[in-house]
């Protein structure tokens, strides 16, 4: 098919605005899926996606659309809507020329709508606005259309009215995609250093990949120049890994082998590579014999939050099971399917061997840990999620990045500490501002502009430390606004941080697993909470347990758990009191000796409850 008949596009929107449901209707209208095989969220193949009703992993599909005597090849990429997966959206946008900006008519423009629109505009993509869920009785069609017109500066008639549930407007939307999304062009002209056109040259962008036990790494590609086919000798430019193409194909929506992929088309390439780390999202494929330069300007993912993962049982059981090895293999397998997951091995004296893993956000963390439990049968201890801090010596200038709280320096007078900050936008009804503003100040936010948006909503722009976002900020915003607020954010820079490390001493011995980094102004309150929780969770033992929470160079909070008492004279009946006194004295000396050398036994369940992700 000629490139003038190809249209590559994505559907982008705020979470729960109906992207996957609309994609289902487009599959039906174009006949990509027979009606008898159709099911809800057809492109959401992961069990967790269908269970939660959200898209986690982008999914491409080729549609064939007939209009005015011509057939068009429409390559759709269905993208996630949650803020954690904005990186997935940015990857898909590199492979397309246009987007459908979908807005829920019952909710209006939301914060994530602004974020994904900004991503599309940065790429210079054609934007087709569409208003979804117009069939619902509570749909605010005219109000929401006015919001879109104000946001895009378009005409009201340019907003396509659709219903993902009934299919209304699906045909009109497909016609607009053909009319307004430009056909793909070869990218060689945009790259000054690229060689002149040659029939043996080819180049393709890797925007995703997956792993197959039989076929190895399968990369999802957008062909930018030339043609790819079975038997071609290709190289990953960034990784330097060479391979022979075993198969090329398209998504229809199941994988379907084809003879070749030509410029402008989206499909997959089977590499046969089975080693982790060889394929990277954003890498460029080109021919070994006639290489073209790498595609510039592709942003790589960056972990936002970190959490330590430990197997609950690290000893091989009767069947020879070693959960640490299984956890490592499981993470390696997931990393072959999820380019944004990163991990490295670490050791905790309390919990043994585990992994420090990086995630795109709290939902990403939740999804990965749930998959580890479901797909690999692992029982996990998940440490409290943290962020990374950059520490620079004021005199030496040496810099190190700290991911684990117990490695954070206790003395920071001669050090400068930097922490990541975010830029965020909140859209909420006007009358909730009185509840939102105090909450923002409590989370150290710097409030910028507040603008009216629509008839009764306000957009609040702000900046705040990333650590405060993780302190249940989104849940609290939803709570004070009765669920009507929406939030989007992005990392912007690093700024000086006034934070300190809190340590827990049990009878004078440091328990590194309980260490955490907190703001100086909140250190006393957090220390009291830690001490109270430990005093409640730790079981009484034969020795007195002294709980001390230290920070800022002193003991901030302390609690004590009295020792268990045993009646050593219970078997005596009457008689001389001196015999009882001898037994009591002997018990007293024994307790002193035990207290002097005794260490506190912290049950595994206590670690689990103290480190549990709420």
491-538 pLDDT, tens digit per residue, is 889 999 999 999 999 888 888 778 889 999 999 999 999 999 999 988
Quick one: pLDDT at residue 614? 44
449 vs 321 pLDDT, higher one: 449
pLDDT at residue 147 greater than cutoff 50: yes
The residues facing 517 across adjacent strands are 501
Structure-block tokens of residue 550: 């230290």
> Does 32 share its domain with 157?
yes
CATH number at residue 316: 3.30.70.870
H or E element, residue 463: strand 457-465
Quick one: pLDDT at residue 307? 86
> Does 487 share its domain with 574?
no
CATH number at residue 573: 3.30.70.2570
pLDDT band at 354, cuts 50/70/90? Answer: confident
% residues pLDDT > 90 (the chain): 29
CATH number at residue 81: 3.40.50.300
Classify 172 as helix, strand or coil: helix
CA distance linking residue 542 with residue 562, whole number of Å = 9
> Does 462 share its domain with 338?
no
Residue 192 lies in a domain: no
Residue 185 lies in a domain: no
Quick one: pLDDT at residue 447? 93
The answer to whether the CB of 123 falls within 8 A of the CB of 130 is: no
Q: What angle do CA 534, 538, 539 make, to 5 degrees?
A: 160
Q: Which of 33-37, 140-144, 515-519, 545-549 is predicted least confidently?
A: 33-37
The residues facing 311 across adjacent strands are 380
574 vs 16 pLDDT, higher one: 16
CA distance linking residue 114 with residue 355, whole number of Å = 35
Among candidate residues 382, 413, 429, the one where a domain is terminated: 382
> Does 172 share its domain with 205?
no
Cis peptide before 253 (omega within 30 of 0): yes
User: Is 12 exposed, middle or buried, given 0-12, 13-18 or 19+ CB atoms closer than 10 A?
Assistant: buried
30 vs 389 pLDDT, higher one: 389
Q: What is the largest CA-CA distance in the chain?
A: 114
The domain in which residue 230 lies consists of 198-287
113-135 pLDDT, tens per residue?
888 888 889 889 999 999 999 98
Residue 293 lies in a domain: no
> Does 323 share its domain with 453?
no
Q: What secondary structure does DSSP assign to 357-425, as a single string?
A: EEESSHHHHHHHHHHHHHHH---EEEPPPB--EEEEETTT--EEEE-SGGGS-S--TTEEEEEEEEEEE
> Does 35 share its domain with 145?
yes
> Does 29 share its domain with 173?
yes
CA distance linking residue 56 with residue 526, whole number of Å = 34
The answer to whether the CB of 70 falls within 8 A of the CB of 175 is: no
Mean pLDDT across the chain, nearest whole number?
83
pLDDT band at 371, cuts 50/70/90? Answer: confident
Number of Cβ atoms within 10 Å of the Cβ of 347: 9
% residues pLDDT > 70 (the chain): 84
Q: What secondary structure does DSSP assign to 225-289, as a single string?
A: ESEEETT-EEEETTT--EEE--EEEEESSSEEEESEEETT-EEEEE----STTS--TT-EEEESS
Strand order in the sheet with 352-359: 342-348, 352-359, 305-311, 380-382
What predicted TM-score, i.e. pTM, was given to this entire model?
Answer: 0.75
pLDDT at residue 198 greater than cutoff 50: no
pLDDT at residue 401 greater than cutoff 50: yes
pLDDT band at 190, cuts 50/70/90? Answer: very low
The answer to whether the CB of 222 falls within 8 A of the CB of 206 is: no
32-48 pLDDT, tens per residue?
766 655 555 445 455 65
Quick one: pLDDT at residue 342? 86
220-229 pLDDT, tens per residue?
999 999 999 9
Structure-block tokens of residue 301: 């993912």
pLDDT at residue 196 greater than cutoff 50: no
Tell me which residue of 114, 46, 82 sits closest to 361, measured CA to CA: 82
Number of domains in the chain: 5
The residues facing 128 across adjacent strands are 100
> Does 138 share its domain with 214?
no
Residues comprising the binding site for GTP?
Answer: 16-21, 132-135
303 vs 583 pLDDT, higher one: 303
Quick one: pLDDT at residue 573? 65
Q: Which is it for the CA torsion 170, 176, 179, 182, positive or negative? A: negative
Tell me which residue of 1, 48, 45, 37 sits closest to 20, measured CA to CA: 45
pLDDT at residue 106 greater than cutoff 50: yes
> Does 153 share its domain with 13?
yes
Among candidate residues 132, 150, 180, the one where a domain is terminated: 180
pLDDT band at 161, cuts 50/70/90? Answer: very high
610 phi/psi in degrees, rounded to 5: -70, -30
Residue 352 lies in a domain: yes
CATH number at residue 245: 2.40.30.10
Q: Which of 47-51, 199-203, 232-236, 393-397 has the highest mean pLDDT?
A: 232-236
CA distance linking residue 112 with residue 19, whole number of Å = 13
Residue 369 lies in a domain: yes
Residue 202 lies in a domain: yes
Tell me which residue of 1, 50, 7, 58 sits closest to 30, measured CA to CA: 7
CA distance linking residue 516 with residue 385, whole number of Å = 10
Quick one: pLDDT at residue 456? 80
The answer to whether the CB of 214 falls within 8 A of the CB of 272 is: no
CA distance linking residue 230 with residue 261, whole number of Å = 10
pLDDT band at 182, cuts 50/70/90? Answer: very high
pLDDT band at 322, cuts 50/70/90? Answer: confident
256-298 pLDDT, tens per residue?
999 999 999 999 999 998 887 777 777 899 999 999 988 876 6
Quick one: pLDDT at residue 282? 79
**How far is C-alpha 424 from the geometric centre of its chain's CA atoms?**
17
The answer to whether the CB of 356 falls within 8 A of the CB of 404 is: yes
Residues comprising the binding site?
Answer: 16-21, 132-135
Averaged pLDDT, 466-470: 89
Residue 189 lies in a domain: no
Q: Which of 157-161, 365-369, 438-442, 457-461 is predicted least confidently?
A: 365-369
Structure-block tokens of residue 525: 């309150």
> Does 401 share its domain with 357?
no
Q: What is the 3-state secondary structure (H, E, C) of 417-461?
A: EEEEEEEEEEEEEHHHHHHHHHHHHHCCCEEEEEEEECCCEEEEE
> Does 163 share its domain with 261?
no
Residue 482 lies in a domain: yes
CA distance linking residue 116 with residue 44, whole number of Å = 20
> Does 310 share its domain with 164?
no
CATH number at residue 426: 3.30.70.240
Quick one: pLDDT at residue 568? 59
Among candidate residues 287, 313, 348, the one where a domain is terminated: 287
């Amino acid at each position: 098919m000629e490139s003038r008949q190809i249209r590559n596009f994505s559907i982008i929107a705020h979470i729960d605005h109906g992207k996957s449901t609309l994609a289902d209707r487009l599959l039906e209208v174009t006949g990509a899926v027979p009606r008898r095989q159709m099911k809800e969220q057809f492109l959401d193949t992961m069990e967790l996606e269908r269970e939660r009703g959200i898209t986690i992993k982008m999914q491409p599909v080729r549609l064939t659309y007939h209009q005015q005597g011509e057939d068009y090849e429409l390559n759709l990429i269905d993208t996630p809507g949650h803020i954690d997966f904005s990186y997935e959206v940015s990857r898909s946008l590199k492979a397309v020329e246009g987007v459908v900006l979908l807005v829920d008519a019952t909710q209006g423009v939301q914060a994530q709508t602004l974020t994904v629109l900004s991503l599309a505009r940065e790429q210079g993509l054609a934007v087709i606005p569409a208003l979804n869920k117009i069939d619902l009785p509570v749909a605010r069609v005219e109000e929401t259309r006015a919001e879109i017109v104000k946001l895009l500066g378009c005409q009201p008639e340019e907003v396509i009215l659709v219903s993902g549930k009934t299919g209304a407007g699906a045909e009109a939307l497909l016609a607009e995609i053909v009319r307004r999304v430009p056909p793909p062009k070869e990218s060689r002209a945009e790259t000054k250093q690229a060689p002149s056109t040659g029939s043996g040259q080819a180049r393709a962008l890797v925007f995703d990949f997956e792993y197959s036990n039989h076929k190895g790494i399968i990369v999802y590609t957008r062909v930018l120049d030339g043609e790819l086919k079975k038997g071609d000798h290709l190289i990953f430019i960034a990784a330097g890994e060479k391979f022979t193409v075993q198969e090329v194909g398209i998504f229809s929506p199941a994988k379907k082998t084809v003879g070749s992929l030509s410029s402008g088309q989206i499909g997959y390439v089977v590499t046969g590579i089975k080693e982790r780390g060889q394929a990277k999202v954003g890498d460029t494929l080109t021919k070994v014999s006639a290489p073209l330069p790498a595609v510039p300007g592709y942003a790589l993912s960056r972990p936002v939050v970190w959490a330590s993962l430990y197997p609950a049982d690290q000893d091989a059981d009767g069947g020879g099971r070693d959960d640490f090895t299984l956890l490592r293999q499981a993470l390696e397998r997931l990393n072959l399917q999820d380019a944004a997951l990163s991990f490295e091995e670490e050791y905790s004296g309390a919990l043994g061997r585990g992994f420090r893993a990086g995630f795109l956000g709290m939902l990403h963390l939740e999804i990965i840990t749930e998959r580890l439990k479901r797909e690999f049968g692992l029982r996990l201890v998940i440490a409290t999620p943290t962020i990374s801090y950059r520490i620079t010596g004021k005199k030496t200038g040496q810099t190190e990045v700290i991911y684990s709280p117990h490695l954070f320096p206790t003395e920071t007078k001669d050090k400068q500490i930097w922490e990541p900050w975010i830029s965020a936008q909140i859209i909420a009804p006007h009358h909730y501002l009185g509840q939102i503003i105090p909450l923002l100040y409590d989370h150290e936010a710097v409030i910028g502009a507040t603008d009216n948006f629509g008839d009764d909503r306000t957009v609040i722009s702000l900046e705040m430390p990333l650590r405060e976002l993780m302190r249940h900020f989104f849940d609290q915003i939803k709570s004070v606004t009765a669920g009507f607020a929406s939030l989007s954010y992005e990392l912007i820079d690093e700024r000086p941080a006034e934070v300190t490390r809190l340590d827990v001493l049990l009878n004078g011995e440091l328990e590194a697993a309980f260490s955490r980094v907190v703001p100086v102004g909140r250190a006393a309150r957090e220390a009291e909470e830690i001490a109270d929780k430990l005093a409640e969770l730790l079981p009484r033992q034969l020795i007195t347990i002294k709980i001390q929470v230290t920070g800022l160079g002193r003991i901030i909070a302390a609690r004590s758990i009295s020792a268990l008492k045993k009646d050593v004279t219970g078997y005596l009946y009457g008689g001389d009191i001196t015999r009882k006194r001898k037994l009591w004295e002997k018990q007293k000396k024994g307790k002193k000796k035990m207290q002097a050398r005794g260490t506190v036994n912290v049950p595994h369940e206590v670690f689990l409850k103290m480190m549990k992700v709420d």
